[in-house]
Amino acid sequence: MKMLAKTTCCGGCREPMRTAAAPAKHRHCVAGPDPSACRGRKDHAVPLRLTFRLIVTFALLFPALAHAHAILEDSTPPVGGSVPAGSVDLQLRFNSRIDRARSRLTLSRPDKSRDVVPIAPDSPPDIIAAHIDTTPGAYVLRWQVLAVDGHITRGDIPFTVTAH
């Protein structure tokens, strides 16, 4: 079988144009690079339909994925805030649901020691809650959360504990 120059048909099948002895599914290529010859052909319609479906799927999913990263919206104690010494309830509210099993809180105390803070299992899906006992001094609560989109987000909440 004799091949012509490296020219493709209308670009849909990416097969080189062939002589009149071309296989049946590419007979439309024999006439030359005529885009109208490919309209409505099944072998070209499938990739176009698949491409269209992929574009629509990504367009619909992209906004949801972009907003799924866990961003800290509010915390108790607030960043740079102060609380009285004693029992302190921690609460971190995020803009998306959090996977508590794969998230963690670490408390840096005034003496530079660090404690892993257990996360309460019964808070709403977008809130991480915990309870700590404190003495006066400067603290830093380090948080690391896994959002439902699979991305890990980290941050620090420095706060001060004052005497009663």
Looking at residue 64, what is its pLDDT? 47
* List of residues 6+ apart from 48 with CB closer than 8 A: none
CATH of the domain at 149: 2.60.40.1220
Please indicate, yes or no, whether residues 85 and 149 belong to a single structural domain of this protein: yes
Please indicate, yes or no, whether residues 57 and 81 belong to a single structural domain of this protein: no
Q: 66, 87, 114: which is the final residue of a domain?
A: 66
Which whole-number Å values give the CA distances from 151 to 58, 71, 103, 141, 148, in the listed order? 18, 11, 11, 20, 7
Higher pLDDT residue, 47 or 60? 47
Confidence tier at 104 by pLDDT (50, 70, 90)? very high
Looking at residue 132, what is its pLDDT? 96
Three-state DSSP class for residue 65: helix
| Whole-prediction pTM | 0.59
Give dist(CA 49, CA 45) in Å, integer: 6
* List of residues 6+ apart from 120 with CB closer than 8 A: 129, 130, 131
Nearest Cα neighbor of 107 from 80, 140, 132, 82 is 140
- Parent domain of 139: 72-162
E strands within the chain?
Answer: 3-8, 16-18, 72-76, 82-84, 86-94, 98-108, 114-117, 127-134, 137-147, 152-162
Higher pLDDT residue, 94 or 40? 94
Please indicate, yes or no, whether residues 60 and 107 belong to a single structural domain of this protein: no
- The CA angle 147-152-153, to the nearest 5 degrees, is 95
Please indicate, yes or no, whether residues 105 and 158 belong to a single structural domain of this protein: yes
Q: Is the pLDDT of residue 39 over 60?
A: no
Q: What is the average pLDDT score of the chain?
A: 78
Looking at residue 127, what is its pLDDT? 96
Other C-beta atoms within 10 Å of 159: how many? 21
Domain count, the chain: 2
Looking at residue 5, what is its pLDDT? 43
Q: Residues 6-35, buried b or exposed e (16+ Cβ, 10 A)?
A: eeebbebbeeebbeeebeeeeebbeeeeee
